[in-house]
Amino acid sequence: MKDLVGLFPYWAVALLMMTGLYIVIAQGNLVKKLIGLGIFQVSVFVLYIAMGVVSGGTPPILETGFVTYSNPLPSVLILTAIVVGVATLAVGLALAVRIRESFGTVEEDELLPLTEPEAPADAEPHA
């Protein structure tokens, strides 16, 4: 059991990820889905950063008197990923705004019937 304590942070990350995934699948509102995706994304960030931690280490800014530093590589990857994350979020939100302007709703349930081909309705008068 004591051996498993070191895995708790990863399990917490798994819980966060799955909450995000649940929101993305189960909720119909497109903006809510994007927020769920954001939660999923941030939990991946936490996973990366947690992997780079060295116990007894300090942040990777070199200073005399310190020997042990945490891993700088996850920090680099994640800090750029955060900025990219907000940029992609903006694209998603822009899509949602356009969908709302064109169809009057951002609820998936109401959108799906609207996007189905209108062939049956058109076909009847011609037939």
Partner 1 sequence: MIGLLAALAAIAVAVAFMRDLLVVAMLSSIFSFACCALFVLFDAPDVAFTEACIGAGVSTVLTLAALRLTGRQERRSGRPATAIAAMVATVCGLALVYGSLDLPRFGDPRAPANGHVAPHYLTRSEGEIGIPNVVTSVLGSYRGYDTLGETVVVFTAALGVLLLIGGAQARPGKRGEAPARADRDVVLRAIATLFVPMTLFLAPYVQFHGAYSPGGGFQAGAILGGALILYGLVFGVERLNRLVPEAVLRVIATLGVLTYGGTGLVTLALGKGFLDYDAFGTRPVGQQIGLTVIELGVFMTVGAVMTLLFQRFAGRGEA
Closest distance of CB 121 from partner 1, Å: 23
Closest distance of CB 127 from partner 1, Å: 33
**Which residues inside 15-74 make contact with partner 1, applying CB under 8 A?**
15-23, 25-32, 34-36, 38-39, 42, 45-46, 49-63, 68-74
Closest distance of CB 27 from partner 1, Å: 7
107 binds partner 1 (CB under 8 A): yes
Interface residue with partner 1 among 95, 112, 114, 122 (CB under 8 A) is: 95
CA distances for 37 relative to 45, 50, 72, 80, 89, angstroms: 13, 20, 26, 17, 9
CB-based contacts of 89, cutoff 8 Å, min separation 6: 34, 37, 38
Say how many C-beta atoms besides its own lie within 10 A of residue 70's C-beta: 17
114 binds partner 1 (CB under 8 A): no
115 binds partner 1 (CB under 8 A): no
| Calpha distance 24→54 (Å, rounded) | 33
